[in-house]
Amino acid sequence: MEKIVNIIESIAHEKGLKIENVKEALKIAMIRTAKKIYGEEYDYDVEIDEKNKKLKLFQKVVVIPDEDDKEELDHEKFITLKEAKEIDPNVEAGDELTYELPLDNLGRTAAATLHRELEYHIQRALERVIFEKYKNKIGKIVFGTVTRVDPNDNTYIEIDEVQAILPKRNRIKGEKFKPGDVVKSVIRKVNIDRVDGMTVELSRTTPKFLEELLKTAVPEIKDELILIQKAARIPGERAKVALTSLDSKIDPVGATVGVKGVRINSVSKELDGENIDCIEYSSVPEIFVSRAMAPAIISSVKMEGDKAVVTVPSDQKSKAIGKSGINIRLASMLTGHQIELKEIKQSSPQPAVSSTKNEEVIKNINALKDLFGD
């Protein structure tokens, strides 16, 4: 046992774990081993003597009155009050005592069991550390190499010390990956359980992926001079982003789009050609809805609770709706309001005045001049 205790620091260093985590794993492993060797029904405790670097195993026993027949009870689980007083004079019936179990004569079976238990609990401790690490990365961009694609088109990607999964539903429509490809995505979810261990789920379809890509492409967003207030996507087709500038000298839309669209085009390329509309955010719902409906020119917006009634000229209706309704859907997703369109019928143009009537008007004007003088 002394040897096992001495390698705690070595295990911690090798696995990148805290010494306390390794100690806790060792204690759990020792208790599980004791239960398998001495019996599941008993309670055990483990102590590590820091000074002597020794591990001690204790079994807990209950103190019973002297008149009780211990032979009829489990000998290993109970101790009479008289026997207990020899250990601790202040003990009373019903108290719980612990006594040390010898470790030298556990045998090879116990040693093998302890080794397996320790290995298992060290692995669990390592998973918890990695779990916390990746849990803090949820919503952040990661890079990884594709290791395989299963028959259901789920893509498995190796990221540092874990193998993550990019489900088919989290992949942009039409994308295909093969082993060896380097894929960029965001961590969507991290789970851990006893059966499957730790799982990391990736996504390329969430609006958060678009936001993180914009941070890498636009220094002003990374430096938080421009804030992304909201984003909405129909992956691989079109997206809308609402931006606010914290510096009056910076145009949030212009800075994000970049000179000749170089910044926004680099993001669009990563998203398989997804068109990205950038608009300036407004806390005034009517203004925000009007801007979100771009490129359509809106006549008016009236808020009715969570619904926005948007009035548009007839020649702007198709732009407001967009192909297959994509523009109005994205505007609704971005603003959080249900949008109802109302079309304004354009008035018919007035007929041109004939030349004959023009001549009559001129004659009448000249007659008036002759009557009253110039």
- Can you tell me the mean pLDDT for 89-103? 77
Contact by Cβ (8 Å): 109, 1: no
Q: Are residues 177 and 90 in the same domain?
A: no
Q: Is residue 40 part of a domain?
A: yes
Same domain for 129 and 79: yes
Predicted local distance difference test score (pLDDT) of residue 371: 54
Q: Which amino acid is at 151?
A: P
Residue 327 domain-assigned (yes or no): yes
Q: Domain for residue 199, yes or no?
A: yes
Q: Do both 225 and 297 map to the same domain?
A: no
Rounded to whole angstroms, the Cα distance separating 313 from 318 reads: 10
Q: What is the mean pLDDT of the chain?
A: 85
pLDDT of 289: 96
When divided into structural domains, the chain yields a total of 4
| Residue 212 lies inside a defined structural domain of this protein | no
Q: Is residue 365's pLDDT more than 70?
A: no
Domain boundary among 72, 101, 133: 133
347 vs 51, higher pLDDT:
51
Are residues 57 and 144 part of one domain? no
Distance of alpha carbon 52 from alpha carbon 49, whole angstroms: 6
String of DSSP letters for 126-163: HHHHHHHHHHTTBTSEEEEEEEEE-TT-PEEEEETTEE
Phi and psi angles of residue 44, each rounded to the nearest 5 degrees, phi first: -130, 160
Give tens-digit pLDDT for 270-283: 999 999 999 999 99
Domain extent, residue 184, equals: 138-203
Residue 8 shares a structural domain with residue 42:
yes
Query: Are residues 293 and 272 located together in one domain of the fold?
Result: no
Q: Is the pTM of this model over 0.75?
A: no
161 and 173, same domain (yes or no):
yes
Both structure tokens of 95 = 């108290």
Q: What is the pLDDT of residues 293-327, one digit of tens each?
A: 999 999 999 999 999 999 999 999 999 999 999 99
Q: Residue 162: inside a domain, yes or no?
A: yes
Arithmetic mean of pLDDT, 323-332: 95
Are 119 and 40 within one domain?
yes
Looking at the fold, whether 288 and 267 belong to one and the same domain comes out as: no
| Full DSSP string of 253-284 | HHHHH-GGGHHHHHHHHHTTT-EEEEEE--SS
The domain that holds 262 is classified in CATH as 3.30.300.20
Q: Would you say residue 365 lies in a domain? A: no
Q: Are 22 and 8 in contact (CB under 8 A)?
A: yes
12 and 100 share a domain?
Answer: yes
359 within some domain: no
165 against 93, higher pLDDT: 165
Q: Would you say residue 181 lies in a domain?
A: yes
Residue 40, exposed/middle/buried by CB under 10 A (0-12, 13-18, 19+)?
exposed
Mean pLDDT across 185-214: 92
